[in-house]
Amino acid sequence: MTQVSRHGGNRQRRRPRWLDPRGRNLGTWAFVANRLTGLGLVAYLYLHLAILSTLLRGPEAWDGLVELFRRPVFLAFDLLLVAGLAFHGLNGLRVALVGSGLLVDRHRALLAAAAILVGLVVLVAAVRILA
C-alpha cells in the first residue's frame, strides 16, 4: 500500500515488525525468553506473597492449601517454576559474560549449555518431586 507523504513523494507504509517472528535470530529468542521468565518470576513472587497471607487465617486454612498444592497440576507448575528460574539465571549469566566482553564468540554455545543445564535441573526436580 502506497501513501502520499505531505512532501509530495510516494512512500511505502511499513507495518511494525516487532510482533513478526520471521527472520529473528537466536539472540532475539533468548532475549524474549529471558523477559518472559522474568515476568513469570515476578508474577510468582506476588502470588507467593498472597498465598502466604493465608497463614493469618490459622493452621486449618494453611493445611488445606498445602493439601491443594500437593496435587499433580500444582506439582507441574512447580516444575515450570524451576525451569523458568534456572533458565532466567543461566541466561542472565550468559548475558553478563557476553556483555562484559568475555566469550562473545561463544554465545550460542553458552545458550545451548544453559538449555541443557535447565533440562537437567528440571529432570532432577521432577525426580525429587515425584519421589
Structure confidence by residue, pLDDT tens digits, 36-48: 999 999 999 999 9
Query: What pTM value is reported for the model?
Result: 0.73
Amino acid at 97: L
Q: Which residue has the cell 535470530?
A: 25
Which element (helix H / strand E) includes 12? strand 10-12
Select the more confidently predicted residue: 130 or 59. 59
C-alpha cell at 102: 568475555
Residue 29 has phi, psi (to 5 degrees) of -65, -35
pLDDT at 81: 92
